[in-house]
Amino acid sequence: MNENITIVVADDHPMLLKGLVDELNEYNYTIVATAENGAQALEKIIAFNPTIALLDVEMPMLEGFEVIKKCIEKQIDTKFIILTSHKEKGFIHKAKLLNISGYMIKDEPFMELHQCIQSVSKGVPYFSAVFNEVIDNEITPELQKIKLLSPSERTIVRLVAQGNSSKEIGELLSISSRTVEKHRANIIAKLDLSPETDALVIWTKEYKEFLSNL
């Protein structure tokens, strides 16, 4: 029964938070606490150990992902559902890495969230269709390309992402800038990028969330 599912809801927009709580009450879920920032959300999750926490991604003080990381560190049993307007690859990749139970886009009908809560409460992950589309069509292909990079090339990609020029990278790695340029050319080929000078820089900005795991 729904009243046995306890929920903490966190969103920094009061009207959205109230609307969400009202909908959840209509379905007889037990709302044990609400929060308007990430720090409050973390405090309430630790205090109430709810079945599920519904978290907005972007909140003051602590973002939704930061709240989840801290809860995982504290070995809290709560399952997490992210509620967001973001469909970007970086956000979805972060959710995947954290093994989050649910990822819902805010413009989905409430019935979709209800189904997500029901599924997650039974231990079955549930994601908006857009999540799986981005994973299958955008993230997985790029991760496969990244696997083709050698350890040296991965180091150079990380340094490019930090804003270093070929000359600076050469100095950091004690190699010539010409050698760095050869590596960059190989990286661009393996990642199937266009040969423009700034193609790799643009790619690192778009996929920066991937690079922390290189």
In 3-state terms, what secondary structure has residue 79?
strand
Contact in structure between 100 and 77 (CB atoms under 8 Å): no
Instruction: Say what the pLDDT of residue 54 is.
Output: 93
How, if at all, do strands 79-84 and 126-127 pair? unpaired
Q: Which residues pair with 55 in a beta bridge?
A: 10, 82
* Residue type at 145 in one-letter notation: K
Rg (CA), the chain: 21
Statement: 148-211 belongs to CATH 1.10.10.10: yes
Residue 26 pLDDT greater than 80, yes or no: yes
Contact in structure between 212 and 162 (CB atoms under 8 Å): no
* Residue type at 85 in one-letter notation: S
Percent of the chain with pLDDT over 90: 26
Helix, strand, coil fractions of the chain, as percent rounded to 5: 55, 15, 30
Statement: 2-128 belongs to CATH 3.90.226.10: no
Band (pLDDT 50/70/90 cuts) for residue 1 is: low
Instruction: Say what the pLDDT of residue 209 is.
Output: 67
In 3-state terms, what secondary structure has residue 90?
helix
Domain ranges of the chain: 2-128, 148-211
Band (pLDDT 50/70/90 cuts) for residue 135 is: confident
Residue 141 pLDDT greater than 80, yes or no: no
Helix extents (H) in 74-176: 89-97, 110-121, 129-134, 140-146, 151-161, 166-173
